[in-house]
Structure formats: C-alpha cells, structure tokens
A and B are shown apart, each in its own frame.
Chain A
Amino acid sequence: MEAVPSFFETHSPSRYKGVWSWLLTMDHKRIGIMYLFSILFWFLLAVLLGGMIRLELMFIGQTFMSAEVYNSVFTLHGVIMIFLFIIPALPAIFGNFFLPIQIGTDDVFFPKLNLLSWYLYMAGGLIAIVSLFSEGFPDTGWTFYVPFSISTRTNVSTAVFAAFVLGMASMLTGLNFITTIHRMRHRDMGWMQIPLFTWSLYATSWVQLLATPVVSITLLLVIIERYFNVGLFDPAKGGDPILYQHLFWMYSHPAVYIMILPGMGVISEIIPVFARKSIFGYKAIVASSMAIAIAGSLVWAHHMYTSGMSDTAVFVFSLLTFVVAIPSAIKVFSWVSTLYKGSILMTPPLFLALCFIYLFSVGGLTGLVLGAAGTDIHVHDTHFVVSHFHFTMFGGTGFAFFAALHYWWPKMFGRMYDFKKAYIGAILLTGGFMFHYVPMFILGLQGMPRRYFDYLPQYEKGNFFAGFGAAFMIIGVFLMIINLWLSLKNQRDVSSDPWGGTTLEWQTPSPPALYNFITEPVVPDYPYDFSGVVERYSKDDKGE
C-alpha cells in the first residue's frame, strides 16, 4: 500500500551498507531491533539455565550437576535475567522503537548516545561471558552480598564490572528518553496527551537515572574492597556489612519498578485497543506511574528484615511498603474497569495481557505477605520469595514483554503471525507457570530455603511438580518465539493499523519509514478515543 520504503530498506546514515548499516546506525528503530535480538539471545539462555536449576531440584540429592556448578548456575540465571533481560527488555527494545513514534517525532534526542548504550549493553554481556571462563563465574547470587562476595575466590570482580557497565547503558537510555520526551514531542502534544506507554517510560527513566548510580558506586566498592581491602564493609576493621545491603537495595528495590513500570505501560496500551473503549482513568494511571516511581524509592530495606537491622527500621519500612501497593492497585482496577462493558476483540496480545493482570495480582498480593514484617520473618529467603518475585517479574514483566512482542510485531516487521500457535504457546506458558510456581509457594511456607542445592525428603513432591511446570513453560516460550520467527516468511502485507489502535505508531506504515512519518501525524486531543475505530470496524462488518 505504501510507496515509501521502510526503515529496513533505507540506511541511516546512508553511507553504510550491509552489516555496517546496522552496527553504525543512528536510527532508533534499528537500534531497537538490535536490542531485540541481543536481549532475546540472553533471555533464552537464562530460560535454559533456569530449566537446569529446576531439573537439578526435581530429585533429591545430586541429579546432574555438582553443588558448585549449581551455585554458579543460579547466579548466572539471576544476573542475566535481571541485568541483561528484565531491566533493558521493554525500555531498550520497545521504548527505543516506539517512544519517538508515539510522541510524533523522528528519533531520540541523542541518537549517538543511543547507539553507545547498545554497545555498552553488548560490552556488559561480553564481560559477563569472559568472567565465566576465567576463574569461574561467581557463586554469590545476583545480590553480591558482602562479606562472601569479597572473600570468595570466584571471579566476582569481572561479573560486578559487567553489571556496572550494564548500569551505565541503562542510565544513558533513561537520560535519552527524558530529554526526548521533554524536547521533541510533537508541537500539538501536551503532557496529558502522551500515550501511557511513553508515560510509563518517563517514570521509569527517572528511576533509572537516579537509582542506578547507587548500584554503580556499590559495585565499584566491591571491586575496591577486593583489590585494596579498605574494610568499609568489614566489621573486623570497623565497617558495617549491613550498609552494603542498604546501598544495594537503594538501587535494587527501585530497580524492580524499572522492570515493572514499562510492563504496566504496555498493558495500558493493549487493554483499551482490544476493548474498543477509552482507558479508564488516564490521569490516575499517569499519576500512579509517577507515584510508584517516587514511593518505590522509599522502601528498600524491606529486603532486610532478617539481616540484623534495627526494629524501628523494620517497622518504618514495613509501613511504607504498604503504601506502594496503592498505586499498583489503582492500575489493576483501571484495566479491569476498561474491560467492563467493552466490546472485546480476543487476540494473542490481549490474552497475554489478561494473564498478566491475573499473575501480577497474585505476585502483588503475595508481596504484601512479604512486606509485612511478621510474616516475612517466617518465609524470608524461602521458595515463597522466589515464587513471589517470579510472579511479578515473569508473570508481570515477562508476560508484558510477550504481550508487547505480539502487539507490536506486525508494526515492527510488517508481518502477521499465526494466532493459533501463539495461543497454544501462551496457554502452555501460563499453565506451566502455575504448575511451576504455585508449588513453590507451598514449599516456601513449609520452610524450603532458596538457593539450596539439596533438600529434605518432604519437599520432593513439590519440587518434582515445579520441574514439570518449568518444562511446559520452556516449550511455551520457544513455541511463541518460533511462531513469531516463522511469520517473517509471510508476505509483508500488514496495514498501517491492523489492531485498530489510536496512538501515533498506527499512523505510520508497517514497518515504519526511515523518519517514521510519511505525512505529518495528526495528534488526537485524547490518545484513547476509539469512536473512529469503532465506526470503521462496523462499516467493515457490513461489508461496505
């Protein structure tokens, strides 16, 4: 339908060809696609590592790997999933690709910096691989707690440095997005006309910007301690190991909102489109994004109830933790209210979004069990915690990632995928998910600790079930991704607005042209007004 060549055909800058037109590109869409493939690589690797953990735990005693290898495998699983997948996934892939389009502009504010972020991301991944093959990957868990991280003989310094570099990439992405949103919005777009995905990225970017430096300095201190033995966290020299945990969670708790906020943004885009109904409470969702970003920075020490912190701090942080639940709940209620009396069009993205709402709610509610100091002390560092954060991180961000992938895939590549296989994949993933993590809640309540290589006989049944669920999940994930991959063989025949969306990305051709918009985009007064879409579809139904 469009005569203008897509960004796949047009190089930017135009002097580079072939692989260089990707490696030296300034185009935010190409950078987004490069992130997509590198992040998918790490994700699938970490999924397999997670499968290995589950397989090892299916049977009591050693199944197929030694305890030392097991320690490295769960550390690697955590480090990759956190630093190389969940933190960058939504902002770096879909943020890069769609943020400029959603605000009606041609690129991010600092295109060169954007490319630099991608290189930093790749460098961070590479350094992590290097640390695998020199002196062994750390066995500390992704939290790198002192004193163990300072005294263990595995190669913590390199792995920590990798995380440091990845932190820089994340920080620069945040910086770029904030500047872009402030300076490059379409001149007709006011703050209250910005699509919700972009709003969530805005809130996320602030957290990335202000929280990441804390972990940078903390990780640097770990390296300094390993080389110079200053003793800042060593009680024998006057230091305080709990301060490490404070500094670490000062970043890493806000970081969970870096992970979930863009996911919530994706869901806020998908739900109204397939309910054919304006989003319920646009302003409340915007405000709750900002509120989560702010309140999320006040609660870090709820990870430390059993670490020997003062009782006053336990009380204060427990109280504050409950405050964060409010804005998250506002969002869930808004999504459900949007669906109410909508004319639902079931598609794979909506299906995944609905699974998100359910799984994320379970994750959020079990979070309250952990946020309350009394119950947390019982289940701290058990499988209950592991299950809780997988419900929020995988059931939340992971499902939002897949929903986004299915929602925007036709726009990014101009091809529609097979719905049936997508549904089967999503059902396998969700079913496997429940099978995998529900037993872990029970195991945790019964007292099975996390990160243990072996366990007492009474935990075998639960672990066996969980292993089964994990297998289903892995099949589901691969099925969905292979299905998307196969769609690349299809004709490039997707119209500019296959779903009936109203945000600006649906005014560009699929895939978009080099500078996104062929004609000047028309910014609607309100981004979620579906009256035009409903009219158009009812005409189609009548065969007009």
Chain B
Amino acid sequence: MEKTHHSHYLEYRTLFSIFLLLLMFTGITVGVSYIDLGVFNVWISLLIASVKGSLVLLFFMHMKYEGRALIFSFLGTIFFLFIMISFTFWDVSFR
C-alpha cells in the first residue's frame, strides 16, 4: 500500500475555467427550460445537471486523479441510487 500522498493540485486558472464552464451550463439549462418539450424538459435538464455535477466531481473534487477504489465505489453508490429510484417504478408505473 502506497503511503505517499498525492501532490497533485490544479492551477487556479484551470479551476476558474471549470467555474466558467459551470456558469455556461447553468445558462444553457435556464435557456432550455423556456422551450416547451414536454417530458423531455426534465430529461434534458437532468442531463445538463449531470454534466455540471461531473465537472464538480472530476475537477473540484479531484475525482479525476483518484485511485480505482474511489472511482468504483462512487459509481457503485450512484448505481444503488439508480436502483432505488428505478425499481420503485416497477410498482408505481404498473399500478
């Protein structure tokens, strides 16, 4: 087991451009919400939110530079969340 600490950090400039990207996506998601696409609106806004979330995760939270254990366990958590929501719909949408 490696005891050495990661000495990886992101430059301010990178962080700031991530912030600008996040602002841009916020603008997009607000803009899209004015176009009525029915049920698709929520899917599109969720998609954009996931992109924003991934940016925060990968860069602000350094997930991009972590080992496999963290990445897999995070994906496992999201998978469990997905199961929680989707399996409930076995009941709700067929009642």
A183 and B1 form a contact (CB under 8 A): yes
- Contacting A at CB under 8 A, from B29-75, are 69
- Closest beta carbon of chain B to A186's beta carbon, Å: 10
Contact of B88 among A185, A210, A246 (CB under 8 A): A246
Contact of A310 among B76, B80, B94 (CB under 8 A): B94
A312 and B94 form a contact (CB under 8 A): yes
Contact of B90 among A182, A185, A206, A310 (CB under 8 A): A310
A243 to B87 alpha-carbon distance, docked (Å): 12
- Contacting B at CB under 8 A, from A284-340, are 297-298, 300-301, 309-313, 316-317
| CB of B91 closer than 8 Å to a CB of A | yes
B87 and A298 form a contact (CB under 8 A): yes
Closest to B95 in A: A310
Q: Count of A-B contacts with CB under 8 A? A: 40
| CB of B83 closer than 8 Å to a CB of A | yes
A113 to B77 alpha-carbon distance, docked (Å): 22
A298 and B83 form a contact (CB under 8 A): yes
Closest to B88 in A: A246
- Closest beta carbon of chain A to B31's beta carbon, Å: 31
- Contacting B at CB under 8 A, from A155-191, are 182-183, 185, 187
Q: Which residues of chain A are near B95, meaning CB under 8 Å? A: 309-310
- Closest beta carbon of chain B to A342's beta carbon, Å: 35
| CB of A250 closer than 8 Å to a CB of B | yes
| CB of A127 closer than 8 Å to a CB of B | no
A309 and B91 form a contact (CB under 8 A): yes
| CB of A214 closer than 8 Å to a CB of B | yes
Q: Which residues of chain B are near A300, meaning CB under 8 Å? A: 87
A selection of 15 A-B contacts at a CB cut-off of 8 Å is: A182-B69, A187-B1, A206-B76, A210-B76, A210-B77, A214-B84, A243-B88, A250-B84, A301-B91, A309-B91, A310-B91, A312-B90, A313-B90, A313-B91, A316-B87
Interface residues of B (CB under 8 A from A): 1, 69, 76-77, 80, 83-84, 87-88, 90-95
> Given known contacts A214-B84, A298-B83, A300-B87, what 5 new A-B pairs fall within 8 Å (CB)?
A183-B1, A206-B76, A310-B92, A313-B91, A313-B94
